[in-house]
Every structure is written in C-alpha cells, then in structure tokens.
Structure 1
C-alpha cells in the first residue's frame, strides 16, 4: 500500500495564513479523482507541507492562461531571516478529468473523505518540497480563500489582464504606484529614500526582502507591467 502526506486541519486569521496541520499517511483507496465540468472549480490556494516545510500553490485562470505560482518560506543563510520565494509553473494544462500537468510537475485533483466530510485537494506526483520522500507524492489541501486575493490598492494588476482603456483613467502617479505595487508584493527593496521606498514603507503589509524579484513575476504580471508602462509614457507629469 502506497502512502502519501495529506494535510487535514487549518485555520485562518485576518489575511494571513495560520495553521495547525497534521500530516498523516493515508492509503490510496481513501482518495478519489475530483472531476468538474468547469475548470474554474479548481482555482484556489492549495496548502502543502507543515511548519517550516510548508508551501502554497496559488492557482487561477485568466482567459486561456492558467497561473500557477508556488510560494515557499526559507531561512536565509547568513542573516537567519525568514523570507519568501516564488516560482512559477509553466505550460499548465487541466483536462476534464482533473488531470494536472505543467513543465515542472504533474498530478491529479482529488477528493478525500474523512467520515462524512469530503475535502478537496491537488495530488502532486513530483513534489517541490524537498522533505517529501522520493517515490511518494503529496496532496495539498484546498483552502477557502480566493487565489485572486492580492494585497494593495491595485490588486487587479496581479489578477487580470489590464486594458489600455482602464489604465487611461488613472493618473501617471497612480500608474506608477500600481506598477511598483506588483514588485512590492514580492518584497522588493526599493531605492533607499526614493519615492517608492518612502511610499511603501508606510504600508503595513509591505516587507522589504529582495533586491531582485524579476524571477518571481507571473506571465500575467509581466504583461500588465508592459501595459502600464505604455500608458505611463504618454501621461504628462
């Protein structure tokens, strides 16, 4: 009998994840494929791992593009500071049977029944968590949080395709904040005492951690940054 790690319990406080997760070994006969006629049913936050080994998968769809971003915490060597890093799954596809594939990993959306309660999750065949034993797979528990929830004044810059028409309604200053807010969400360190550094240091959720966050950006965010820059360039100061 093959065993996997499954996450059973969690709690949410405000906009931050806090949890009490109990990893358990369960048999395959307790897991069933989760099939849905609507692919948007699979959109969500999926919680993997436990404590310092935890990670989240943010999964949502924009037109034909499927965004899949893995968020992992780590202790930075030398500073011993807890930081977050982000990696993007590419070429994601989900079929009508709930099969999940990408360039980096693959899996199956599943349900898990415990007593009379049925939970939903995503089984990953090639886990990105290094603590998972080779040859086994991992299931992430689907959290009741919208994967399109982003912090900031302009969360839409990370959750939908921005149009030139809607961007034209904003001032140059607003556009600058919208664009830089994308980087701020990843903890980008702005130029000390610069306009954006001064602005974001006043924002409660902002936490400066990284000198470069370019690799963290999703394909959607890269597209929106270019859209914003086009309109910014035409705006008067």
Structure 2
C-alpha cells in the first residue's frame, strides 16, 4: 500500500464499480472522497485497499507476501507504536455507548495478542520486525499480524515434543504453562480464549499451517489445518 492519489475514474475501475456508485458512496459517507481545490475527487490507495479487502485480508497479505513494511498507518515497529495505537482503539470504543461494558475486554485481548508479537520475537525477527495492527469500528473488527517465529517454534523451545502447528495452537489456547517467557504465551492466549467465549466475541487465529477458531456465540473452539502457511501469526477479532 502507499499514499498515491487515485482519481475517481481509476478508483471506480480499481473497485470494479461505476463512477456513479462512487459518487453515491461519497455522498452517503460509505467511502468519502477527498477533493482538490478545483473540485476533483480522489482517494488514497491505502483507503481503497482497506475498503476493497478489509483489515483481515490486508493483514494476511502482509504476512504471506514479500518482506516489506506495511503502510505506516497499520505498522507498529515497536511496542511504543503498538501501545499508542491501542490507546486510540480504547478511545474510539469507550466513547460509544454500545461498548461501555466490553471495550476494556476488547482492548485487553487485543493488547495480549499484540504484545506476544514483541515478547516472543525480541531479537529473533526473521525479517520485518513489529506488528500489523488495524481496526474497523463500523465492522467491529480488529486485525493483528506479525512475521515472527510463530506459535509452534516459540513453544517448541520449552516443549520439544510438540509435533505440529495445530498441536501448538491447542496447547497455547488451552493449557496453563507456568514459568517465564516464552512460556507465558500459553497463559495469555488462554485468557484471550476465555474472554472471547464469555462475551460472544469471535477470534480467528492463524499460525504456521494451522488455525484456531474460537466462537463465543456458539461456545466452540476448533483447531484446524490451514491450506495457507503463515510464517508468524495473524488474528482477527470480531467483537
């Protein structure tokens, strides 16, 4: 993604819609356009990508694509940037009445997943350090991703008997593992799972060749093989 300006004709072509549709979306606020002094409407490439793909797809594209930093709006190279963006999420949620009872929990599990990216990859980033962090309040979605070691390689350092990514995710989300980092990964994700189930949220978490789908509405936790291999971790929180 980049900050290049794309005018309305090319934007309509990129989104595979008509110019009239873009005008309606601009007027309704669904996809607001920027306007030049001369009245020409244009969009930033990153905004079109976000609208077209959504936060989760952009996170997955970053993890599975070539090694390059994501757009600065979504990139948190260190915990300082991550905590700053987490504060923005909290501010956006706490002022909305519908989240008055749950915003602190949404922020807590987002912080837990995001902090894992830094805690368990410090000094061991395979290529791009830091995390992807984007949220869409209207769609009630938060996407997090890193290009780190992943859950399997992290836990295998203390549980060498772990055989595969799916087993590693199962352990991380369901077993209490005492001790210091990297063991704390298991404890933190168990907390995340409990919050998701207790509050009817949904979490989709991918690492390596496996996924964990935790569905609070149906009170289920499923660990599956994934057709796509994710070098680090990718998560989508629906709240």
Q: TM-score, normalised by structure 1?
A: 0.26
The structure where strand makes up a greater share of residues is 1
